[in-house]
Every structure is written in structure tokens, then in C-alpha cells.
Amino acid sequence: MEGTFEPQPYRFTMAEDGALTFVYNPMLKDKVPETVQKAVAEAKAKIITGELKVSQTYLTEENK
């Protein structure tokens, strides 16, 4: 609206920008075993620190 937008490609990674978010449905969380919730939290922490590598695909015109 102010004429200041500049188009550019944006890149989000799992370890940056909050792109890695996992929220349990409050109505169903009690159905997920505590061991699974712990494993998910541990995997998330490892992804963020870079200990666990996750392949990422970047969307380009060639691979749409």
C-alpha cells in the first residue's frame, strides 16, 4: 500500500524463523503417549542445533 514492497525469494529453514513448529491438539494430546511427546521434543531440539540433519527441498520453477 505504501509502495515499499520489493519482491525477493524468501528461504525458511527448519532451524530458523520458527519454521519448525509442532502443536498438539489440546483435545487429543492426552492420547499421545508421553514417550512419543518426549521423542518429538528431542528430535526438534536436535534439528534446531543441527545435530539431526533434515533434507530440505527448495521450491523453484524447475521443481514445482
pLDDT at residue 64 tops 60: no
- What is the residue-wise DSSP string for 6-45? --------TTSTT-------TTTGGGS-HHHHHHHHHHHH
Distance in angstroms (rounded) separating the CA atoms of residues 11 and 56: 11
pLDDT at residue 63 tops 60: no
Residue 47 is predicted with a pLDDT of: 84
Residue 28 is predicted with a pLDDT of: 95
Q: How confident is the model over 8-30, as pLDDT tens digits?
A: 887 766 666 566 777 899 999 99
pLDDT at residue 35 tops 90: yes
Region 53-63 average pLDDT: 67
Residue 10 is predicted with a pLDDT of: 72
